[in-house]
Structure formats: structure tokens, C-alpha cells
Amino acid sequence: MRRLSVWLMGTVLVVTAPQSYAKEVSGDYIEARTCDVYTGPCFANGEVGISGRKAVLGWKVDTGSWQGVALDGLAVAVVISANDTLGIGGSFYTNPTEIEAIVIFDERASANQRDALESLFLESVKGWTPKIVGRRSAPMSLKSDHLSGVGEFEVKDLVRIQTRQLSKRDCVCSNEVVFYPPLAGVENSQPVFTRKLSYSGNAGGGQWNSVNRRSAFLATFQK
């Protein structure tokens, strides 16, 4: 009887352990900023404290739930504006004291799904705490091909990101590295070239554009 009890306990452990480590939600991530993230120290030194105070972060859920709420196919965008370079965790570490965020939800999301998407965003960022100054909903889409480095993120009438793969012609000093890591906890991140980054809203300091920079990331996420 004792042997049977031990065997049953072992069986329960084998069955339940994988469930405790199961990921709840997964998908694609894109990020673009107003300073180079893949660069050399000389270029970064010329930008730190001057540029890189704005960014757009985007998550697109492929499948899964967060806090018990199904988020399959939904996306969320976050527009960031800070009072210093967003060099959090980078080689030239900066520590902005004010970071404002505008959260834009997929227009298809219900009230519960919007709450879950906001929680997912807040759980994903690392080393900084944003002050949310606005929330709204809009149609959005994210297309990401990690192998080619091509990504396109669009929030209708508000946000546009277009990227391509980095190439040899994008290396200027031959000392380029990932100077600033992604602003969110992600997996399989790779730096890519920003062909276009724009925010066309009126909140968070107003409209801005940034083009032709080594300033974006494509990645995946699992939580």
C-alpha cells in the first residue's frame, strides 16, 4: 500500500508540474524610438540626454489569456514621452524622472480585455514606471517577419512604424552594438532599421516623426 501511495504521488507531480510552468499568453512585439538603439559609443554619446525621449511599443497577442481574459488576436500600443533619454538598462544609463504613457487599445477589445491588455503592458515593462495620461481605442494591425527584419505597425490616424533588416551599409564606425535594450521584457529581440516612426495624436507632447534610424526592435513575448 505504501509503494502504491508513493507511486501515485510521483504520478501527480509528473502530470501537474508542466501546467504550473505553462505560459498564459504569447505573440509579437515591436518597438521604435527616437534615438539609435544599435549604434557605437561615439554616436550614442552625441544623443544621450538630447534625443531618445519618445518611443512607441506594440504588442500583438497571437493566442492566450491574461488574468483569465482571452486576448487572442488583440493588440495594444503605448506611446511614451519622457524628460530624458530612455536609456534604461543601456550602456549609457539614464534615469528619466517623468515617463508619460498613452495607451491605445485595439478597438475590438471589450472593457475587460482593455483592462487585461493594460495589465499585460504594465507587467511587461522593466526598470521604469509610467504615468498613464491617456487611454483610447483605435483599429490597429501588426505584421512582423523576424527572419527578414520587416515589421509594420499601424494604429489608424495615430501611429505608424515601418522597419527593415539592418545591413552592412548601416554600420558607420564598425563598433555598433545593441546600446539600449528593449523597454519591455521580451524574447528573441533583434535590432532593426526604422524606415518610419510617427505619432499623429495631440496628447503626450503633440505630434512627432523619426525616420531612417537604427532605432527599432522586433521580438516575441511569452508570459
Contact, 71 vs 120, CB < 8 A?
Answer: yes
Task: Name 65's bridge partners.
Answer: 70
- C-alpha grid cell, residue 79: 506611446
Please name the residue ranges forming H helices in 21-145: 41-47, 111-124
Residue 45 makes CB contacts below 8 A (sequence gap 6+) with: 92
Tens digits of residue pLDDT in 13-32? 444 434 444 569 999 999 99
In a domain, 211, yes or no: yes
Its pTM stands at: 0.87
Helix (H) or strand (E) holding 152: strand 150-155
In a domain, 5, yes or no: no
- Tell me how far apart the alpha carbons of residues 3 and 46 are, in angstroms, rounded to a whole number: 70
Counting runs of H as helices and runs of E as strands, what totals does the chain give? 3, 13
Report how many domains make up the chain.
1
- C-alpha grid cell, residue 145: 517577419
Quote the domain boundaries for residue 98: 24-222
Contact, 138 vs 155, CB < 8 A?
Answer: yes
- Does residue 86 or residue 138 have the better pLDDT? 138
- Tell me how far apart the alpha carbons of residues 149 and 137 are, in angstroms, rounded to a whole number: 28
- Range name among 10-19, 53-62, 142-151, 176-185 with the lowest pLDDT average: 10-19
How confident is residue 175, by pLDDT bands cut at 50, 70 and 90?
A: confident
In a domain, 59, yes or no: yes
In a domain, 13, yes or no: no
In a domain, 15, yes or no: no
Decide if pLDDT at 204 tops 90: no
In a domain, 11, yes or no: no
Contact, 100 vs 81, CB < 8 A?
Answer: yes
Nearest to 133 by CA among 94, 80, 174: 80
CB neighbours (10 Å) of residue 59? 26
Best-predicted range by mean pLDDT (35-49, 63-77, 161-175)? 63-77
In a domain, 181, yes or no: yes
Contact, 154 vs 32, CB < 8 A?
Answer: no
In a domain, 87, yes or no: yes
